[in-house]
Chains A and B, each alone.
Chain A
Amino acid sequence: MRPPFSISSIDPFLLFLMATVAVASLLPVHGAAAIWFSVIADLAIALLFFLHGAKLSRDAIIQGIGNWRLHLLVFGSTYLLFPTIGLASVELAGGWIDPLLLSGLLYLTLLPSTVQSSIAFTAIAGGNVAAAVCSASLSNLIGIILTPLLVSQMMRVDGSGAQMSWHSIESIVLQLLLPFLAGHLLRPLIGGLVARNKSILQVVDRGSILLVVYSAFSAAVVNGIWNILGWRDMLALGALSVAILAMVMGVNVLAATLLRLPREDAIVLLFCGSKKSLVSGVPMAGALFAPASVGMIVLPLMIFHQLQLFVCAALAARFRRQIEAAEVEKSQRPALPRTEADAVARAAELGMTIPAACMPGVLANLALLDRHAERLFVQDDTACA
């Protein structure tokens, strides 16, 4: 039975997240402090990838790279599903909100996925981190070329996009791939340390998300996003963002279910396939659109970005709780005899002896029963508890 709602039932990470949003709204970082803050955030992200590089085995990385079905699904979600929903939303919302904001809405659906937060959320949720690193990086790198192409085909543009491309490549390589590679190369030295101290990685995972959230909300406040928009446009954009995100996530969950993706891969699809990158989107807009319209064009992206961070943080925390609950449950689960010694001891308790000729068959049957016991204890939110 799930406990009734109470403050204590909220995940502490979500409380931190809400506090971060409140602090960013009241005390946004700006000016010189913002530059230092940006450096700290970059270092935290680099550290995050360094630690994941040290944690993941070579086999896991190779398996992650080779998971083509998953990469195609993430790619399809980012560059097919999102744009389709974007076009439909623009069609439906035409006449209701400012056309420039609508262009911004369509623009956001053409952007690449975020890299850092997608991977951090995947890690928090217990997903396939190796595949997420590969999928999100690949999607982002392809986006450098594909997004301007899509924008040029589907929207009116005024710039070249070249300036942004190099910046994105540079930041992906410096912030993500190099630290990841360095961590992995040092794995023989520090891999054991990282594996033994899981809490370090957890702090860095969650800390980096909080830094991103603080940074994004601060920027929104400093740029006066909440003042530029009228309440009607704000509400309409908020509702459209919620609808787009819900649709994309819903389709991804359905695809994962239909294709029977393992839970770890389904998490990657959910997080990497439902994100849009503010880091890529803002400079790209500066390069693609007329300066006077850039502010309004990126507004929907900024709102969507806040929403996706919050929703994904809540989901990741929920998945983490499920994993932790399953681990606790597993540790408390009555143990079946698994070895010959266990079986002999348990039989002796019952006044029985297992003939040697029967032992292989008994152990095979115990292994089968153990699998059934494991399935019985699978934790699920919809379990008939």
Chain B
Amino acid sequence: MRMNSALAIAAAVRNREVSAVELVDDCLSALESEGRRLVAVTRILTERARREAAAVDAAIAAGRDPGPLAGVPYGVKDLFDVAGLPTTSGSSLYANAPSATADAEVIQRLSDAGAILVATLNMDEFAYGFATINARHGTTRNPHDADRLAGGSSGGSAAAVAAHLLPFSLGSDTNGSVRVPASLTGIYGLKPTHGGLPMGGVFPFAESFDDVGPFTLSVADMQCVWTVLTGKSSEASDSAIRVARLGGRFRDNAHPDQIAAIDRIASDGPLIDLPHIAQARSAAFLITAAEGGALHREALARDPMAFDPATRDRLLAGALLPPTLIETAQAFRARYKAMIADLIADHDVLLAPSTPCVAPLIADPRILIDGDLSPARADLGIHSQPISFTGLPSLSVPLRRPGRLPLGIQLIGKPGGETLLFRFAAMLEEQRLTGVSSPAGVSAEVFLGDFA
């Protein structure tokens, strides 16, 4: 069974076309086989999932509505608190940490809406990377080509959805950790307005930029999950949407198909050059390194060799940064945000690539930036990091390109402008300019098709 639509699953469960327990069992077995093969899964929560599914079925049998996500299975990046389990943030260091006493706030909201947590998913250790290369769990594979990276740091969350093992999942995005894997695996991924979703019970990385965000296979599912997570219903509007394209560095390091799609979507949209974009990225890089290093300073002092080799040296270096440098970077950020807000005041949606290229090969994880090869782990976020720096919401939407490696573009909105992003994304999806292209061998039919 393939999980293609959260809304369709919820409708089927509520209409008793399928029981939540039956559905969750199928999902668990798919995660056990395919999820493990993709190295997308870190823990399968069989007992909890069955218990929750049974509760959903019982509620329906008793005539109660379990919520808009009734019986919909989902997974979370391995940095959300799950009651009864240690929160590891993808690290061996926390494998035996005391168990969380409660679910993260966003998990509680999803449970209240009837969704069923089935697994925790792979990530770069402490979310530090754009590759999901994890020393403890392994490297997550891209469902479109198992020899390629799924991107990161929420790579497991993206791969599980892209492979249609789950209809949606949660990741976290500090500098692009939702948008980068969403682009490389060809699904929808949202980084909300900074601070737009509750961070209670989420293992931090760099608090200046940390946000949680969902992955889905359609705009409608994204909107539904967003409504559940925020508790706010979307306001309908049919006002004209003013679209602009981001130029300069965003177009210099992009795949030609991304440029062509952006130009097609907004052929009349002005080309805006966000100034000092390289400085913005550098400031973000420094703040992230310093905050990440500071967060783990005690553990680094105690036992640095216990860290993943891929993140250890980066965290150590970040811990050594002088505080005055970070104060300067933060002051630059405050000025920059104000300047960008003025610059984009006349536009509702800005278009930019999500990643500079398609998924790199695992055997050679390097990408071309400004004509030079650089490590994918550090630089896949070249286009997402400057947007995180501004705190603006950004939805990565997949270009429709069946049979080819996926690519995404960012729809960037104004603070609090997620609903408008969804409306614009739905238009693009309707025009078939964007949309999920299933990996080879995965059925593109919606969930209900499996029951027909």
**Residue positions of A touching B, CB distance < 8 A:** 333-337, 343, 346-347, 350-355, 357-358, 361-362, 364-366, 368-369, 371-373, 375-378, 380, 382-385
Contacts and interface: CB of A to CB of B under 8 A. Distances in A.
Contacts of A346: 320
B320 A343 contact: yes
B335 interface: yes
A369 B318 contact: yes
B276 A383 contact: yes
B279 interface: yes
Nearest to A375: B282
Interface string B330-372: 0010011011000000000000000000000000000000000
B279 A362 contact: no
B373 to A, nearest CB: 14
- The prevalent SS among residues of B at the interface is helix
B301 A352 contact: yes
Interface string B259-288: 000000000000000011011011101100
Contact of A358 (B301, B312, B329): B312
A371 B317 CA distance: 13
A362 to B, nearest CB: 5
Contacts of B318: 365, 369
B421 interface: no
A369 B289 contact: yes
Interface in B306-328: 309, 312-314, 316-322, 324-325, 328
Contacts of A343: 320
A351 B309 CA distance: 21
A364 B313 contact: yes
B321 A354 contact: no
B317 A351 contact: no
A354 to B, nearest CB: 6
B367 to A, nearest CB: 15
Given A352-B301, A354-B304, A366 B317 contact: yes
Interface of B: 275-276, 278-279, 281-283, 285-286, 289, 297, 300-301, 304-305, 309, 312-314, 316-322, 324-325, 328-329, 332, 335-336, 338-339, 378
A369 B316 CA distance: 12
B426 to A, nearest CB: 34
B285 A372 contact: yes
B301 A334 contact: no
A369 B286 CA distance: 7
Contacts of A376: 279, 282-283, 286, 328-329, 332
Contact of A365 (B279, B300, B313, B324): B313
Contacts of B297: 350, 352
Contact of A347 (B283, B312, B320, B324): B320
B339 A366 contact: no
Nearest to B275: A382
Greatest chain A CB density within 10 A among B281, B289, B316 is at: B316
Contacts of A335: 322
Nearest to B331: A385
B336 A384 contact: yes
Contacts of B321: 336, 369
Greatest chain A CB density within 10 A among B276, B281, B329 is at: B276
Given A334-B322, A369-B285, A384-B336, A354 B276 contact: no
A351 B301 contact: yes
A1 B67 CA distance: 53
Given A358-B312, A372-B285, A375-B282, A366 B335 contact: no
Nearest to A342: B320
Contact of A384 (B275, B304, B312): B275
B335 A350 contact: no
A257 to B, nearest CB: 11
Greatest chain B CB density within 10 A among A337, A373, A376 is at: A376
Greatest chain A CB density within 10 A among B301, B305, B317, B339 is at: B317
